[in-house]
Amino acid sequence: MKKKMAGNQRQHQRSVSISSLVLTAYCLLLTTGCIRRNLTIRTEPPGATLIVNDETLGTTPHAWDFQWYGWYRITLLKDGYERLDDRMQLKAPIYFWIPLDLVMEVLPFPVRDDRALLYELKPKTGLPEPSPPITDASDDPSQEAQPTEEGDG
Q: Tally the residues of the chain.
A: 153
Give me the chain's average pLDDT, please.
80
Parse the chain into domains and list their residue ranges.
10-120
| Cα(86)–Cα(119) distance, integer angstroms | 10
Give yes or no for residue 77 having a pLDDT over 60: yes
Q: What's the sign of the alpha-carbon dihedral 142, 145, 147, 150? A: positive
Q: Which residues contact 72 (CB under 8 A, 6 or more apart)?
A: 52, 53, 66, 87, 88, 89, 90
Residue type, 104: M
Task: Please write the tens of the pLDDT for every residue from 40-52.
Answer: 999 999 999 999 9
Confidence of residue 114 (pLDDT cuts 50, 70, 90): very high
Confidence of residue 145 (pLDDT cuts 50, 70, 90): low
Closest by CA to 49, choosing from 41, 39, 57, is: 57
Give yes or no for residue 20 having a pLDDT over 70: yes
